[in-house]
Amino acid sequence: MADLQTVEIDAQYRQLREECGLVDRPERGKLVVSGPEAAAYLQGQLTNDVEALGPGDGVYAALLDRKGHMQGDMRVLRPHSSVPYASQTGKRNSQAELWIDTEPEALEAVRRHLGMYKIGRQVEVADVTQERAILSLIGPRAAEIAGSPPLPENVCEEVAVGGARCLAVGTTGGIDLILAAAERDRAWEALLAAGAAEVSPEAVEIVRIEAGRPRFGSEMGTETMPAEAGIVERAVSFTKGCYIGQETVARLHYKGKPNRHLRALRLSAPAQGGEPVSLDGKELGTLGGAAVSPAFGPIALAILRREAEPGTTVAVGEDGVTAQVVALPFG
């Protein structure tokens, strides 16, 4: 059984690297923030420059607490027109609508925060997690199969897939399609017919780890600062003005060095996420995502204390597994 599973994962991995894999993302939290003050409101809550977004633009951002710790990370999009999957009533909204999707581990905190602090503002926050779907196409043929031009990360435009109206969003590995959940099956079948192949979340996780992209709920959590996770360049604007946690983030960026860093690990044997990582008996952190890569063997990501410099060999768990710290990404 294990050998058969390995063969299947290897085939899916090749599909993701050479053709196009298709995976459903039902677990992602999905919010729509609308109203005349929507962009200005998010500008003061999130780390990146939301007000600068033009139609079809998007950014990666984080929500922090006042001490600069992450409460969640997210994608923020400003579609060209009212998002077809935005309004819970199905009515078109003439006001600005901004789309947010986030990891499931962050949804409740992000939803609660944005709902709490909007009091007195002309802003509505709608949770559309159950009503909308996200399908990810990953691989060199992703744009072709989606019927979309190649899109830079977080840039979006509307496309039709099997008659379903979708928002195509550029990702580092391909294209995400956001659409009404009721249209999910029709779009899914059309994508398979166009040449995509269904792949498992496990295969997609290998590609994520190889790319060195941290995930909230895996490597990142509520004790993580953006600098520790290596996401400052993507997630933080230092010119946009005030937001929650800004002072800590700016001070660390300009004057300090984080005590912890995102690291890539090449393991001597497979290991599980959550296992402790240590050096000379001192715990440096815990494993985040871990997998067996067809290209690199057992690998993992972890946010570890600064002693874990590239080239260092560390211990993992209590069963004699070791790991060499290597530069990100793998390759």
- pLDDT, one tens digit per residue, over 284-307 is 999 999 999 999 999 999 999 999
**Is the pLDDT at 2 greater than 60, yes or no?**
no
92: which residues sit within 8 A by CB, 6+ positions away?
82
Span 194-220, average pLDDT: 98
| Residue type at 84 in one-letter notation | P
**Is the pLDDT at 95 greater than 70, yes or no?**
no
Span 8-28, average pLDDT: 97
**Is the pLDDT at 82 greater than 70, yes or no?**
no
How far is C-alpha 211 from the geometric centre of its chain's CA atoms? 12
> Would you call 255 exposed, middle or buried from its count of C-beta atoms within 10 A (0-12, 13-18, 19+)?
exposed
Kind of pairing, strands 197-198 and 21-24?
parallel
**Is the pLDDT at 88 greater than 90, yes or no?**
no
CB 258 within 8 A of CB 225: yes
The CA radius of gyration of the chain, in Å to the nearest whole number, is: 20
Angle in degrees, CA 304, 201, 265, rounded to 5 = 25
Q: What pLDDT score was predicted for residue 257?
A: 87
Of 216, 219, 228, 217, which Cα lies nearest the Cα of 290?
219
Span 180-187, average pLDDT: 97
- What whole-number distance in Å separates Cα of residue 11 and Cα of residue 289? 21
**Is the pLDDT at 217 greater than 70, yes or no?**
yes
Span 3-11, average pLDDT: 87
Q: What pLDDT score was predicted for residue 182?
A: 96
Could you please report the per-residue DSSP string of 145-197?
Answer: HHT-----TT-EEEEEETTEEEEEEE-SSEEEEEEEGGGHHHHHHHHHHTT-E
Name the strands in the sheet holding 164-170, side by side, starting at the edge strand that comes first in the sequence.
Answer: 156-161, 164-170, 174-180, 132-138, 21-24, 197-198
How far from 303 is each of 219, 287, 323, CA to CA, in Å? Answer: 6, 8, 14
Share the mean pLDDT of the chain: 94
Span 238-262, average pLDDT: 94
Instruction: Label residue 96 by pLDDT band (50, 70, 90).
Output: confident
CB 226 within 8 A of CB 216: no
121, two tokens: 């503002």
Q: How many CB atoms lie within 10 A of CB 87?
A: 18
Span 50-67, average pLDDT: 97
- What whole-number distance in Å separates Cα of residue 300 and Cα of residue 228? 16
Rounded to two decimals, the pTM is 0.94
